[in-house]
Every structure is written in C-alpha cells, then in structure tokens.
Structure 1
C-alpha cells in the first residue's frame, strides 16, 4: 500500500500518483486529461441510456419540465433538503415523466433522487456517473435516506423493518 494523503475530500495514494510538480509548485497532471476524457465518454454512454429509462427520467428540456422543476425545487423543499438531509445547493439533473421525481446533485457532487409524491429521498452515488451507473446496472446500491437519522438503508432492509 502506499502513503495516503488527503486531497480535497478524497484520499490519494501518493505512491500511485501520476502528478508531477515544477520547482515553483505548479502541478502538472498527465493523467487528468485522460481521466476527464474517459469520464465524458462514460457519462455520454450513460445519458444515452435515458431514452429507454423505465421510469421516464430524462434531461430537463421542455417548459413543462421547467414548471415541474420549479415546483419540486421550491424554497421550502430546498430548505427541507438542507435541514433534513444536509443537501446544500441542489442542482437538478433529470426529471421523470410524471414530474414528481427529480435527480439532483448536491454541492459535493453526490447524486440523490427526490420523489415528491412519496416524500422520499434516495442516495444514488457519490457522483453523477456513479449514480447513473447504479440506476441502470446496480439498483441494489441505491439507498433510502432515513429522514430522522440520515441513515442510508437498502429498500429491502427498509421493508424488513416495516414488516
């Protein structure tokens, strides 16, 4: 294992890094462009799957979507998200066909799903790519966020506790 150091919010294995520094402290990361390009191609592929999404989630494009969005991300809900779930500065990513559910990113880039009808928040992943991947391929990695404790729990475990 290598030496670990804190890099923003994520640990970085310094022995595994491809970052080089000039003597004046400016960093040059030769892998950054490659990672960015790979991320964009993954994101593009995942977004193309939306056209066949079983729940009708899609990128916000129409006036109806914007109208539904203004209802879902109103001042009261934004305050509720912050106080209850610690979700600050929510930004909408997609909305479902019904106009009652949205996918949002918080100020750290974590992805959540808010269902206004059920008054339910789900944690989809630590990034847009992870959230979309979990939605399409790993739904068991999407967790309900319990309102009182902010505990992440699987749908299966939640149903078990209710019974």
Structure 2
C-alpha cells in the first residue's frame, strides 16, 4: 500500500466514523484499525488528530460543494434547486446533519485549522448562494444561507425532506418579495 492509498483509507474511515459518531468519540486507534493502515504510517501522514480532522473536512467540503453546484447548474430555478438537492441529502440513510456544524459544535473554537475549514465552507456556501441570488442582492444570499442552515439543523433532528420543502417555500417567498 502506497501513501496515497493509505491516505484514502484513513480519510474514508475517518469520515465514516467522525460523521456517524462524532470527532471526540473516535480515537486514532479506531481509525487505524478500521483503515488497516499501520499506526506508524497513520502518524506520518497525519501527525495529530487535528490534521486528520482538517483533511476529512476539507475533502468533504470539496465533494459536498461540487455535488451541490452540479445540482444547481443549468437548473431552471437554481435557488429552489438548492432546496430540492437538500431534500435528497436529508433522506440519505446515513444523514446526520452538517459535518461542519457538528465539528464546530464538538470542538468550538478549538483547533484553529478545523475552525478555518468550517468558516471557509460556510463562506463558500454563502458565496454560491450569492451567485444564485444575483449580484445586487447580498442580503438575499444571507437569508438563503440561514434557510439552508436552519433546514439542515432541523433535518438532523428529524431526517426527511420536509425541512427542505418548508425552507424552499420560504425561499420562493423571498425571491418573489425581492424581485
């Protein structure tokens, strides 16, 4: 196994366990055991748990954001397509809310690198919503972000598409009111 394969195995295992059980609940030994990567190589690739958590969140950010962008690109109503995409995500069997908010909730202002990834993810999401809302409506982008985040938190407590549907209805009202 080369370093790239070891890194992928470690990140796959970390993502599965951190997202399902929480960052603090999962030790490095569980990551090692689940990935089959020797402890020495694990610590060579990720010298501290903070480095592994940061890499996990960065990779998740790239995948999550790309999936959302793909879903809204070319959609007739890209803003409401965001909420349609969320409805699908909320129905996934392993859905457990926002990994970034979960990490922040667990770690607070703890590791700076982790907090940076969380802030960057939310800033990128707000930027995407701003692109979809249009250049002259920065307030609308902020409102849409609140709807996305609120729907995600509600769905974490009660999974299913309904929080996304309700947020979509609110977004439609905002779009109509600001046109």
TM-score by length of 1: 0.30
Give the number of the structure whose alpha-carbon radius of gyration is greater. Answer: 1
TM-score by length of 2: 0.28
**Larger RCO, structures 1/2 (Cα 8 Å, 6+ apart):** 2
The structure carrying a bigger strand percent of its residues is 1
